[in-house]
């Protein structure tokens, strides 16, 4: 398994797409820091806004995180979707699986290698963005590791789903399904928040159900919560409009949903191994 | 203990019988040719032997262990029909990876990779990226991977499909050298000349079952007579049916099977008919004819869609 994981990391490192993503992250962070600096500069000049700088900056950070989160999820989908399918189609997998290599080791090695790449990219881009914005604005989230961990977790959930799809579907089909499922889960999360704000138990139930089917939105809630200053959480109170916003979270995801996410990942990977084992190569 | 021993192996894909009761034995140290037309079940057999697919029924042992046994695969080298390796790796890296997968100690992997690259003629391309290789070079690399770690069984699925004539000769030498070392070689091919020149024993497979097998001489055993002749037409053929099955191939009358002792009688009849005889050759049929005899009997005419079947 470790041999396959190392091979997968090596493959990603030698592919241009990863370095393009790194360069894009640097450009995005540079531009964001410049924008935040301009905003903070203008706000400091206005005594009416000056007090709200952490609020403003945190909202921009959440938007930046939203962008990086989306990039990470897409990266997970487009690295994960061909992980097994493309190697089976080309015959690369057959040459290796005729060796004393268990199909489970092969699949989990592919997943692990991609997981390392995605987490590394999440940590690099996330901490870079938070650090750069902190440098120009003075605002650093209370625990900067937390939102980065949730960003990475969201991508890992989607990676696991795409690896599962990759055991049966073509790369394009698997990638497309995973991205659509992610979008639907995100929308379900927003609807759940609206349901909570307006007191619709049906909406909340639907949203909760979707969270258990694909728990990515719980991680997005964690990202938002982790980037907010406490002043925002306390000041919003019961304001319906704010509480229903996907860019606001009054609490971190529950321990139950986080525990479920771990179980979900194990189950999905077990199912993926089972699918690959049953497949005729 | 034979290298391969399978009994009544069957594999069904949906409604199609890819293998319909295959029974065969391959001994240690022998080069075994597995011949058949496209779709006969050759690649299916290889996949079952390696555990890449599961049989619908039947049993088989490879190197004394059940087919697909994980530990036994350490001792099996395999060149797939669809040979493809990580395009972004260097040739040497592909082989050290496979060395790692078969459990070669780290200290030996580099030397084993270099040795295999030398055997297949890629020593000077060891540090080139596989993606830049021609198909023939990639097939050579696959052959190198199959030879890694001195396996007891080498399974080659159409090993010369992408090679030029020089490469084909090289492969014959490599196969013979491996057999001399004591390895069994299972050579899957539809190239008759390749099999004819390198194999000790052959099995001809069609419609998922063995239709002939044995030592090359036994399978080819059929005698034939060829007469280069002028002055006969297809309507004369029935006159030669007492000797065997006559056919006209260009300017040659061929009769198979035909006992060489009957040659004088045949020539007398031809001369009696007023035909001009230029040359008479009595010998053994080529593998090609034998193959066609065996597999063409119940085959639909070329171009019929049903001639294409599942592999």
Which positions of chain A have pLDDT values less than 70? 50, 231-244
Nearest Cα residue in chain A from B86: A92
Which of A14, A92, A98 has its CB closest to that of B78? A98
| A interface residues, B as partner, C-beta within 8 Å | 3, 7, 10-11, 14-15, 90-92, 94-102, 280-281
Average pLDDT, chain A: 89
Distance from CA of A124 to the nearest CA of B (A): 25
Which of B84, B102, B145 has its CB closest to that of A90? B84
pLDDT at B136 over 60: yes
- Distance, CA of B142 to CA of B82 (rounded, Å): 10
pLDDT at B308 over 50: no
Nearest to B57 by CA among B12, B97, B13: B12
Contact A281 B73 (CB under 8 A): no
Between residues B136 and B207, the one the model is more confident about = B136
pLDDT at B310 over 60: no
Which of A10, A92, A100 has its CB closest to that of B73? A100
Average pLDDT, chain B: 88
pLDDT at B243 over 70: yes
Give the pLDDT score at A251.
Answer: 81
Distance from CA of A265 to the nearest CA of B (A): 27
Give the pLDDT score at A242.
Answer: 65
Tokens of A74: 């897409």
Contact B74 A90 (CB under 8 A): no
Neighbours of B38 (CB within 10 A): 11
Query: Within chain A, how many helices (H) and strands (E) appear?
Result: 13, 0
Do residues A114 and A79 touch, judged by C-beta distance below 8 A? Answer: yes
Cβ-based contacts of B78 with chain A (< 8 Å): 95, 98
Mutation site, B89, B101, B152, B161, interface A, largest A CB count within 10 A:
B101
Tokens of B62: 């490879």
Give the pLDDT score at A256.
Answer: 92
Contact B82 A281 (CB under 8 A): no
Do residues A194 and A239 touch, judged by C-beta distance below 8 A? Answer: no
Give the pLDDT score at A228.
Answer: 81
pLDDT at B79 over 80: yes
Nearest to B293 by CA among B208, B206, B226, B235: B206
Question: pLDDT tens for residues B157-184?
Answer: 999 989 998 999 999 999 999 999 999 9
Residue B303's pLDDT band, with cuts at 50, 70 and 90, is very low
Q: What proportions of chain A, in percent to the nearest 5, are helix, strand and coil?
A: 85, 0, 15
- Distance, CA of B61 to CA of B74 (rounded, Å): 15
Distance from CA of B302 to the nearest CA of A (A): 29
- Distance, CA of A78 to CA of A83 (rounded, Å): 9
Contact A94 B74 (CB under 8 A): no
- Distance, CA of B311 to CA of B304 (rounded, Å): 17
Nearest to A125 by CA among A78, A69, A60: A69
Give the pLDDT score at B47.
Answer: 94
Q: What ipTM, to 2 d.p.?
A: 0.84
> If DSSP codes are grouped into helix, strand and coil, which group holds residue A142?
coil
Which of A10, A100, A281 has its CB closest to that of B47? A281
Do residues B145 and B116 touch, judged by C-beta distance below 8 A? Answer: yes
Give the pLDDT score at A110.
Answer: 97
Give the pLDDT score at B299.
Answer: 58
Contact B51 A280 (CB under 8 A): no
Which of A11, A91, A98 has its CB closest to that of B84? A91
Contact B101 A11 (CB under 8 A): no
- Distance, CA of B189 to CA of B53 (rounded, Å): 20
pLDDT at B309 over 80: no
Nearest Cα residue in chain B from A1: B101
Nearest to B119 by CA among B107, B127, B111: B111
Distance from CA of B52 to the nearest CA of A (A): 5
Give the pLDDT score at B34.
Answer: 92
Scan residues 89-148 of B and list those with Cβ closer than 8 Å to A.
Answer: 89, 97-98, 100-103, 142, 145
Give the pLDDT score at B293.
Answer: 75
Give the pLDDT score at B258.
Answer: 83
Do residues B186 and B153 touch, judged by C-beta distance below 8 A? Answer: yes
Do residues A224 and A58 touch, judged by C-beta distance below 8 A? Answer: no
Residue B298's pLDDT band, with cuts at 50, 70 and 90, is low
Burial B246-285 (b: 16+ CB within 10 A, else e): beeeeeebbbbbbeeebbeebbeebeeeebebeebebebb
pLDDT at B192 over 80: no
Cβ-based contacts of A96 with chain B (< 8 Å): 98, 101
Is residue B251 reached through a cis peptide bond, with omega within 30 degrees of 0 on the bond before it?
A: no
């Amino acid at each position: 398994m470790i041999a396959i994981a190392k091979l997968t990391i090596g493959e990603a490192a030698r592919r241009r797409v990863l370095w393009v993503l790194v360069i894009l992250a640097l450009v995005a962070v540079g531009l964001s820091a410049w924008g935040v600096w301009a905003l903070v500069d203008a706000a400091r000049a206005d005594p009416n806004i000056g007090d709200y700088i952490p609020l403003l900056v945190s909202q921009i950070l959440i938007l930046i995180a939203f962008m990086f989160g989306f990039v990470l999820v897409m990266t997970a989908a487009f690295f994960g979707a061909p992980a097994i399918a493309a190697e089976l189609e080309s015959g690369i997998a057959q040459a290796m699986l005729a060796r004393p290599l268990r199909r489970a080791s092969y699949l989990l090695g592919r997943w692990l290698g991609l997981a390392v790449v995605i987490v590394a990219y999440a940590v690099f881009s996330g901490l870079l963005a938070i650090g750069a914005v902190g440098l120009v604005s003075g605002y650093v989230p209370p625990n900067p590791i937390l939102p980065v961990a949730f960003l990475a977790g969201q991508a890992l959930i989607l990676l696991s789903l795409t690896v599962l799809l990759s055991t049966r579907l073509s790369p394009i089909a698997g990638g497309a399904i995973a991205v659509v499922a992610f979008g639907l889960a995100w929308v379900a999360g927003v609807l759940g928040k609206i349901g909570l704000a307006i007191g619709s138990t049906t909406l909340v139930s639907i949203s909760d159900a979707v969270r258990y089917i694909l728990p990515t939105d719980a991680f997005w809630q964690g990202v938002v919560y982790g980037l907010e200053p406490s002043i925002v959480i306390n000041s919003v109170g019961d304001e319906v409009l704010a509480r229903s916003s996907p860019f606001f979270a009054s609490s971190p995801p529950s321990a139950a949903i986080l525990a479920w996410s771990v179980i979900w990942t194990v189950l999905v990977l077990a199912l993926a191994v089972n699918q690959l084992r049953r497949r005729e190569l | 203990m034979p290298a391969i021993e399978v009994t009544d192996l069957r594999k069904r894909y949906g409604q199609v019988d890819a293998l319909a009761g295959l029974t065969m034995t391959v001994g240690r140290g022998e080069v075994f040719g597995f011949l058949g037309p496209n779709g006969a079940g050759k690649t299916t057999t290889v996949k079952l032997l390696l555990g890449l697919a599961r049989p619908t029924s039947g049993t088989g042992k490879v190197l004394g262990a059940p087919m697909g046994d994980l530990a036994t695969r350490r001792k099996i080298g395999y060149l797939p029909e669809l040979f493809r390796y990580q395009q972004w790796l260097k040739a040497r890296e592909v082989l050290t990876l496979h060395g790692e997968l078969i459990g070669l100690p780290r200290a030996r992997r580099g030397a084993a990779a270099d040795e295999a690259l030398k055997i297949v003629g890629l020593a000077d391309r060891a540090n080139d990226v596989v993606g830049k290789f021609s198909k023939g070079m990639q097939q050579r690399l696959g052959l190198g991977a199959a030879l890694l770690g001195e396996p007891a069984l080498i399974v080659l699925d159409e090993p010369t499909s992408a090679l030029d004539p020089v490469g084909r000769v090289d492969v014959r030498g490599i196969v013979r050298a491996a057999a001399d070392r004591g390895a069994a070689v299972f050579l899957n091919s539809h190239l008759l000349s390749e099999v004819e020149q390198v194999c000790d024993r052959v099995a001809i497979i069609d419609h998922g079952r063995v239709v002939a097998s044995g030592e090359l001489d036994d399978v080819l055993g059929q005698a034939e007579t060829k007469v280069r002749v002028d002055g006969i037409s297809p309507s004369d053929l029935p006159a030669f049916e007492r000797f065997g099955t006559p056919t006209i191939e260009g300017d040659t009358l061929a009769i198979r099977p035909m006992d060489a002792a009957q040659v004088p009688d045949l020539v007398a009849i031809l001369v009696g008919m007023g035909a001009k005889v230029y040359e008479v050759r009595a010998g053994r049929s080529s593998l090609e004819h034998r193959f066609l005899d065996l597999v063409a009997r119940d085959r639909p005419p070329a171009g019929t869609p049903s001639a294409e079947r599942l592999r």
